[in-house]
Structure 1
Amino acid sequence: MAYEISVNLEYMFHEAGERLEDRIAAAAAAGFAKAEMFTTAGRDLASLGRALGDHGVALISVLADPRTRLIERDTHAAFRDLFRQAAEDALVLGCNRVVVGSGPGVPYMKRAMQLDIVAEAVAGIVPIAQELGVTAMLEPVNTRVDHPGVLFSQTIDAVNVIKAVNSPNVRLLYDLYHSVVEGENPAEQVAQHIGLIEHVQIADAPGRGEPGSGAIDWAAMLGLLRGAGYAGAIGVECNPTVPSTAGALEYIRELAASI
């Protein structure tokens, strides 16, 4: 079965304009039926919902604000409120996945202690996720290029928190681009953690351009995901290097259809 591509509306289809509604229309016109976005805060949910429905596009993830410093316990109550709002907004848009980041780490506390405190914060949103029927996806992101100072910089950081929380409502978002930039071997990461992976995102490296613009062997990467048993969508979260997003994604869409 071919992999379906999901497009991030914040990074791509800028040629359609600033409104996500117009980017949804452009994505649908280009043949994409799955999409992702960042925060719902300040967005017109009714308008977005109409655009998704009118164009037959399914939203598969939204983002809870990743800047909260979860290693500080006095942020945890606000984080629970933030997650609930993001989850409720997601459901309005027909989506049941909320991406959760760790926020920044600090140099004055041992890493294991920081991860323990973040695990407390994530455990605090489990009852909300269970109540609403949503999945929190913990996302490690690279600290070398894109997110200096972030705590979840390695896949194992998020995995350790997921295992500590031990809930089916808390799973892993594995972003292959971030993993490669951090110097990880995707074959090792996928093999070790496939049972926890809820969703996969990609971009090429170096540069975070569309797949095919950098040095990653995408036939090999999609092959290892297929071999490990991953059957979900492939979320592309890249900065297109050409004016047409549809043109930029042609290579990976054709490859995904053939794996």
Structure 2
Amino acid sequence: MRFDVNCSILFTELPLLDRPAAAKAAGFDAVEFWWPFPEAVPPASDVEAFTEAIRDAGVQLVGLNFFAGDMPGGDRGVLSSPAHSAEFRDNVELVEMIGAATGCRSFNALYGNRIPFLDRDRQDETAVANLAFAAAAVARIGGTVLVEAVSGPQPYLLRTAADVVAVLDRVRAERGVGNLAFLADLYHLTVNGDDVTKVLAEHADRIGHVQIADAPGRHEPGSGAIDLDGHLSQLEQAGYRGWVGLEYVPSGPSGLSFEWLPRDRRANHEGNPLA
């Protein structure tokens, strides 16, 4: 398995632009980020500083979220919001540019929360159109758009693997789009009550990226009760060779939260699942 560090949730004690170097110092060769700016289209100088920080750290950017609204305020994506479609599509163009500049090819589109008083069908239709737009854009650089289920108190519209797969199938059927994949966040799936073993058995071939955290608590592996070792072994046996993003809140200092993973298994090479 190849592990990367989500620098939007780890190393938060450091300024964002210092986090790729911290991940490298901890022994990792790859990082991922949620959308790292407060706006959908930040100043060009901010984007350049971000890509330079990744390049200077000597790490690979392997995952990036599209703009997802005001995440600290409770937003979980604008993909399905008609009022934000223009903003989302402007962001897609920038994401494509960042992908071209960094070599990143996996881009996560958060579906969005339920909008009160708006018909769900209209939200879903908006999401389908925006997913097709995003997929066409990143296809120009060989990219893939990821979709995930999310837990938490927000009324996020996709809660299970079945919800996600239904969206992927609909976009493929209605728009002929092939470069979409399931982001299997094992923490979110577990917390939402999915049978993760069954999900992986049924949908391993649809998975384009994996993220992990333990539950309860969303802390590092070994802090909770999820069988992450077993799940990752199952994925490996099913042929998954993609990245596993460490997307957890450290229970102590970020550097110490990697002790579950021997340093010689943090670099970009194939290895055994958790042992």
Give the TM-score normalised by structure 1: 0.86
Q: 1:54 to 1:209 in 2, by over 3 A?
A: same
Q: 1:58 to 1:231 in 2, by over 3 A?
A: same
Q: CA deviation at 1:89?
A: 2.3
User: Given the alignment, which residue of 124, 131, 134 partners 1:125?
Assistant: 134
Q: 1:194 to 1:246 in 2, by over 3 A?
A: same
Q: CA deviation at 1:134?
A: 2.1
1:172 matched residue in structure 2: 182
Q: 1:107 to 1:22 in 2, by over 3 A?
A: closer
- Which region of structure 1 is more displaced relative to structure 2, 109-118 or 40-49? 109-118
Q: CA deviation at 1:140?
A: 1.5
User: Given the alignment, which residue of 148, 156, 179 partners 1:150?
Assistant: 156
For 1:1-259, list aligned pairs within 5 A.
Answer: 3-15=1-13, 17-18=14-15, 20-41=16-37, 42=42, 44-67=46-69, 68-106=77-115, 114-142=123-151, 146-166=152-172, 167-243=177-253, 245-253=254-262, 257-259=271-273
Deviation track 1:150-197 (CA, whole Å, cap 9, x = no partner) reads 111222222111111122321111100000000001111111111211
2:74 matched residue in structure 1: none
Give yes or no for contact 2:8–2:36 (8 Å, CA) kept in 1: no
Deviation track 1:52-101 (CA, whole Å, cap 9, x = no partner) reads 23332101111112245444445333322222222222332331221101
Give yes or no for contact 2:29–2:58 (8 Å, CA) kept in 1: yes
CA RMSD of aligned residues (A): 2.4
| Counterpart residue identity of residue 139, structure 1 | E
Distance in structure 1 (CA, Å) of the matches to 2:233 and 2:120: 34
Q: 1:45 to 1:155 in 2, by over 3 A?
A: same
Give yes or no for contact 1:48–1:93 (8 Å, CA) kept in 2: no
Give the TM-score normalised by structure 2: 0.82
Segments of 5+ residues of structure 2 without an aligned counterpart are: 70-76
Segments of 5+ residues of structure 1 without an aligned counterpart are: none
- Calculate percent identity across the aligned residue pairs: 33
Distance in structure 2 (CA, Å) of the matches to 1:151 and 1:114: 9
Give yes or no for contact 1:45–1:93 (8 Å, CA) kept in 2: no
